[in-house]
Amino acid sequence: MSALKFTKAHEWLSIDGDLVTIGITNFAQEQLGDVVFVELPEEGRQLLEGEEAAVIESVKAAGEINAPLAGTVVAINETLADAPDTVNQDPTGAGWFFKLRVEGDIENDEWLDDEAYNRYVEDEC
Amino acid sequence: MSSENNVLKTPLYDLHMELGGKMVPFAGYHMPVQYKGMGIIKEHQQVRAQAGLFDVSHMGQLIIEGENATRALEAIVPVDIDALGLNKQTYALFTSEAGGILDDLIVTRWGKEQYFLVVNAACKDQDVAHLQQHLGAQAELSLLNDQALMALQGPTAKDVMGELAPQTSELVFMSGCRAVIEGVECYITRSGYTGEDGFEISLPAAQADKIARLILAFGQVEAIGLGARDSLRLEAGLCLYGHDLDNETSPIEGALNWSISKTRRTGGAKEGGFPGADVILAQMANGVSRKRVGLSIDGRVPVREGAQLLNAEGQLVGQVTSGGFAPSLNAPVAMGYVATEYAKEGVQLSALVRDKPVAVQVAKMPFVAQRYFRG
């Protein structure tokens, strides 16, 4: 397992071989506020890169999570159905969204490491 | 709307920043949506369980006074203003000639011919123009631009106010009194927008920070942002102007018949005589084609403003005007307008959320029982 990668859309990816776990960043959950509903993709669904994969709703706002890369959904975080606030409490751990099985290379120049992401958040947001 | 640099600050701006308020522009003011370390749900629960302090200084505070102030005001709102006792308050609507709602407000009688009005922030300028036009020479209008307004809401608000201004313990819901707190002259009413017992405090802007800090020093009080203000009022079934009410909506469609005094209705001693009276009283007699209702929602998906409401046949029969998560119920709730034949408790409809139907049913409001102090 490698260190987390981050997208400019405020998702994180944890890459373990051909398995990629995806969630939203601490900054994203802070911006959203109290999460009250999460809709996850069905297991087995094939996602294209950039395709809408999940919906997240806080008390104030609704947002969507687009697949940062193509792959097949092999697991979803069932906990979030009953305890969506897990996303607030532990966004990069227990608050993960779904896991994708990915074919081929998993690399993207646009993804940021921890340090670059923090800098991006400070500069842009 | 106004650009970032002409957004105004309330007298409590520095305090909001110090408390980690997440500031957003709202009705032309920098206002806190929520505070660091709390968040909307915690803040909401705080007000239901204890007490919360809201900055509502963005709202418009006005005085109408003069020889014919009572009569002049009665020509603008469908309320028996003269029936108000001294220091008593009423909810009122500015109606349009077409029978729509220009704003909703609270009127407090300060004297035989003197009234204190609190109007919505976003309607302030329009309300002032409307009042000036209708009052003419009959009464004088003044804007209390140097007054701040705070609301202290929740079941323990009375204990805090009781210590700071003991005479407020005598107040019942929708009445007010003058009080001096730490040398600061305040006008305090027992009212609010949360469904809880509580108070609104009008005071000089220059002293607002000091008094706010004094109130926040009580262990049972936390600062509360606009986010929780919205979820609290929604649970209490209270309308938000510009969303649940507007100039295209009549008081009868808005299910606000109760806000039209008996004496101002057909057959009453002071029948009509307010803008749009013919339209509104005809609607009262003959009914309307759509009505505001509450909606309870199956499952956890929030159904928000703008969501279309469909009947069992899939026909469009209404629209949601306010909706979100109700922390006290741990479930989503909404309100909206439906064709009158569907405006009955228990009627099953579906709301379209991201093109998918969500089962909802017409429900009684308030969603959470109001706990006003009526003595």
Tell me the chain B residues in contact with residue A34 when contact means C-beta distances shorter than 8 Å. Answer: 39-42, 325
Domain shared by B215 and B318, yes or no: no
The number of residues in chain B equals 375
Average pLDDT over all residues of chain A: 94
Asked whether residue A116 is assigned to any structural domain, the reply reads no
**DSSP H stretches of helix in A17-66:** 26-32
Instruction: Tell which residue, B29, B14, B363, has the closest CA to residue B223.
Output: B14
Residue pairs between chains A and B whose CB atoms are closer than 8 Å: 43
- For chain B, how big is the Rg over CA atoms in Å? 21
Phi, psi dihedral angles at B181 (to 5 degrees): -115, 120
Backbone phi and psi for residue A88, each to the nearest 5 degrees, phi listed first? -75, -40
**For residues B337 and B55, what is the distance between their CA atoms, to the nearest angstrom?**
30
Query: Which of A34, A37, A85 lies at the smallest CB-CB distance from B301?
Result: A37
pTM, two decimal places = 0.94
Q: Domain for residue B126, yes or no?
A: no
The total number of structural domains in chain B stands at 2
User: Are B225 and B330 part of one and the same domain?
Assistant: no
Phi, psi (rounded to 5 degrees) for A67: -60, 120
**Residue B274 domain-assigned?**
no
- Give start and end residues of each alpha helix (H) in A26-113: 26-32, 79-82, 86-89
Q: Does any domain span residue A81?
A: yes
Q: Is residue A45 part of a domain?
A: yes
The residue from B190, B219, B235 where one domain ends is B235
User: What's the confidence (pLDDT) of residue A124?
Assistant: 77
Residue type, B282: A
Q: What is the pLDDT of residues A29-45, one digit of tens each?
A: 999 999 999 999 999 99
Which range marks the domain in which residue A87 is found?
Answer: 5-102
- Which residues lie closer than 8 Å to B172 by C-beta, 6 or more apart? B190, B373, B374, B375
Contacts of B325 in chain A (CB under 8 A): 34, 36-37, 57, 59
Structure tokens, A121? 């958040």
8 A C-beta contact, residue A8 and residue A1: no
Q: Answer whether A61 touches B (CB < 8 Å).
A: no
The ipTM value here is 0.86
Residue B296 belongs to domain with CATH number: 2.40.30.110
The verdict on residue A55 lying in a domain is: yes
Q: What phi, psi does B258 have (nearest 5°)? A: -60, -25
Of B227, B327, B354, the CB nearest to A60: B227
- State how far the Cα of B276 lies from the Cα of B256, in Å rounded to an integer: 15
| Residue B39 to residue A39, Cβ atoms within 8 A | no
**Nearest-by-CA chain B residue for A39:** B301
Q: Is residue B66 part of a domain?
A: no
Question: Which structural domain range is residue B305 located in?
Answer: 289-375
Closest to A67 (Cα-Cα) out of A54, A77, A58: A54
Separation in Å, CA B309 to CA A58, A79, B233: 22, 30, 22
Residue B74 DSSP code: H
Q: Which of A36, A55, A60 sits opposite B33 (nearest CB)?
A: A60
Residue B75 belongs to a domain: no
In terms of residues, how long is chain A?
125
Strand bridging mode B29-35 / B184-189: unpaired
The closest CB to that of A37, out of B227, B231, B300, belongs to B300
Residues from B contacting A (CB-CB < 8 Å) are: 33-34, 39-42, 227, 231, 300-302, 304, 324-325, 327, 332, 354
Kindly identify which residue of chain B lies nearest to residue A31, measuring between CA atoms.
Answer: B22
Distance CA B124, CA B126 (A): 6
Partner residue opposite B300 with nearest CB, options A33, A36, A59: A36
Q: Are residue B297 and residue B359 in the same domain, yes or no?
A: yes
Q: Which residues of B touch A62 (CB under 8 A)?
A: 302, 304
Q: What is the pLDDT of residues B317-337, one digit of tens each?
A: 999 999 999 999 999 999 999
Determine the residue among B232, B303, B325 to mutate to test chain A binding: the one whose Cβ has the most chain A Cβ atoms within 10 Å: B325
Are residues B300 and A84, on separate chains, in Cβ contact within 8 Å? yes
In this structure, the answer to whether residues B339 and B199 fall within a common structural domain is no
Domain harbouring A72, CATH code: 2.40.50.100
Domain end among B202, B217, B235: B235
Q: Point out the residue among A39, A55, A59 whose CB comes nearest to the CB of B41.
A: A59
CA dist., res. B196 & res. B32, Å (int): 21
Q: Provide, as residue numbers in chain B, all residues whose Cβ is less than 8 Å from the Cβ of A57.
A: 301-302, 325
Rounded to the nearest angstrom, the minimum Cα separation between A8 and chain B is 22
A106 pLDDT higher than 70: yes
- Of B168, B201, B235, at which residue does a domain stop? B235
Q: Is residue B25 part of a domain?
A: yes
Contact B295, B333 (CB under 8 A): yes
Chain A residue with minimum CA distance to B44: A59
Q: Do A39 and B227 touch (CB under 8 A)?
A: no
pLDDT tens readout for residues B284-308 = 999 999 999 999 999 999 999 999 9
Mention every residue, 6+ apart, whose C-beta is less than 8 A from residue B129. none
Q: Could you tell me if residue A115 is inside a domain?
A: no
**Contacts with B41 from chain A: Cβ below 8 Å:** 34, 36, 59, 85
Q: Which among B41, B227, B302 has the least Cβ separation from residue A37?
A: B302
B324–chain A nearest CA distance, Å: 6
Gap between the terminal Cα atoms of chain A: 29
**What CA–CA distance (Å, rounded) separates B283 from B291?**
11
Residue at B373: amino acid letter: F
**Contact assignment for A59 to B33 by CB distance below 8 Å:** no
Q: What percent of chain B has pLDDT over 90?
A: 98
Buried/exposed code over B76-109 (b: 16+ C-beta within 10 A; e: otherwise): bbbbbbeebeebebbbbbbbbeebbbbbbbbbbb
* CA B211 to the chain's CA centroid: 23
* pLDDT value at A2 more than 70: no
- CB atoms closer than 10 angstroms to residue B46: 20
Q: Is residue B76 part of a domain?
A: no
Q: Show the low-confidence residues of chain B (pLDDT under 50).
A: 1-2
CB B12 within 8 A of CB B57: yes
Chain A CB contacts of B231 below 8 Å = 59
How many separate domains does chain A show? 1
DSSP helix/strand/coil, B70: helix
CA distance B199 to B160: 10
Of B33, B227, B325, the CB nearest to A36: B325
Q: How do beta strands B290-297 and B184-189 pair?
A: unpaired
Residues in chain B closer than 8 A to A55 (CB atoms): 354
The answer to whether position B213 is within a domain reads: yes
C-beta of residue B100 within 8 angstroms of C-beta of residue B250: yes
A114 within a domain of the structure (yes/no): no
